Amino acid sequence: MSMKHSKRSAWSRSTTSKIGILAVAAFSCLLLCQCAKPSDEKADELYIRDSERQWAESVASGDASVVERILANDFIGVDPHGQLYDKTKMISDTREGAKFFASNRLNEVKIRFYGDTAVAQGSESWERRTGERGRFVWTDTWLRRDGRWEIVAAEDLTVPEPRGVPQQ
């Protein structure tokens, strides 16, 4: 019996030691992985804010290059009428936008980060070529994939321009 006991004790010590080494190795890898993908939240916020501004301006300019750059290939949006649209449709609509919009400018945007996900919420003021004015109020969901931020989902509402807001 003493032989079995000593074998178990040796096996137990050996296993405990191996588990301890594995735990330390796993923890070290976790720390290294976190250090290996540094994220500068200020730079990320600046990139997202600037991209949102460029997307707003593209509605009136018809320049679809920003939409091509920032929308994920699997992007899905919901327009103000509740209809779904994808990246291809947004690119097409952006190219046609200059026919209908005289201007569109970003008013505000608030960005919150959740690891490799960011939620941007904001509003834009627009004027159609007919003189009609209004605002888009929206939420965009950004995802960092392979070190690059892209929008995977968007939802837009159209609301009237508040009274007493000076137009620029």
Percent of the residues in the chain that have a pLDDT greater than 70, as a whole number: 74
Q: How far apart are CA 35 and CA 116, in angstroms?
A: 14
> pLDDT tens digit string along 103-153?
999 999 999 999 999 999 999 999 999 999 999 999 999 999 999 999 999
Instruction: Annotate 85-148 with DSSP letters as a single string.
Output: EEHHHHHHHHHHHTTTEEEEEEEEEEEEEETTEEEEEEEEEEEETTS-EEEEEEEEEEEEETTE
Estimate to the nearest angstrom the gap between the alpha carbon of 131 and the chain centroid.
33
pTM for the complete prediction? 0.74
Q: What's the token pair of residue 25?
A: 């190795």
Determine contact, residues 80/158, Cβ cutoff 8 Å: yes
Q: What is the DSSP string of 29-63?
A: HHHHHHHHS---HHHHHHHHHHHHHHHHHHHHH--
- Are 127 and 59 contacting, i.e. CB atoms less than 8 angstroms apart? no
The tens digit of pLDDT for each residue in 44-64 reads 999 999 999 999 999 999 999
* 23 against 50, higher pLDDT: 50
What's the CA gap between 77 and 88, in Å, rounded?
Answer: 11
